[in-house]
Amino acid sequence: MATQKQRRKRAKEKRHAYDLVEIDAEGNETLLTASELKAEAPAKAPAQKDGRGNGRAKSPRGAPQPPTWRRVLKRAAIFAPIFLATVMLLGGDGITFTGAVVQTFFLLAIFVPFSYFMDRLVWRSHEKRLAKAKTGGR
């Protein structure tokens, strides 16, 4: 039995009756049939290659990408100034700039491998979900 949400959606689709028409060069409208729509449907485009030309298809937005150390190091470069500012703010007057930089390096030494392993964990779980979906959920 359909849920209430599904019933509402079906009712809404039935309320809005519409016809697909095609307008030719002279301005005449002709009603399109389902078989004509199927014939006009474009074939799927092949997987787009990314700008580097290495043959990999772009992953959809939000889909995890395989973990790379380069991406993790870029992330660390973004977070390093934030870590430094946080250490200096929390250290107050008792910490020198050199001490804050040393603590920031220690934080980055923990952050970089942790970030890589988290990326790897997310990637592996994504791959397992894809494999499970391909096998039919077994």
**What is residue 60's predicted lDDT score, i.e. its pLDDT?**
67
Has residue 37 been placed in a domain?
A: no
Mean pLDDT within 60-78? 89
Has residue 39 been placed in a domain?
A: no
The residue among 135 and 81 whose pLDDT is bigger is 81
Number of domains composing the chain: 1
Has residue 59 been placed in a domain?
A: no
Tell me the pLDDT band of 15, cut-offs 50, 70 and 90: confident
Tell me the pLDDT band of 17, cut-offs 50, 70 and 90: low
Stated pTM of the model: 0.53
Mean pLDDT within 58-75? 85
Whether the pLDDT of residue 14 is over 80: the answer is no
Whether the pLDDT of residue 58 is over 70: the answer is no
Q: List the domain range (segments joined by +) for residue 121.
A: 64-134
**What is residue 74's predicted lDDT score, i.e. its pLDDT?**
96
Sign of CA dihedral 93, 96, 99, 103: positive
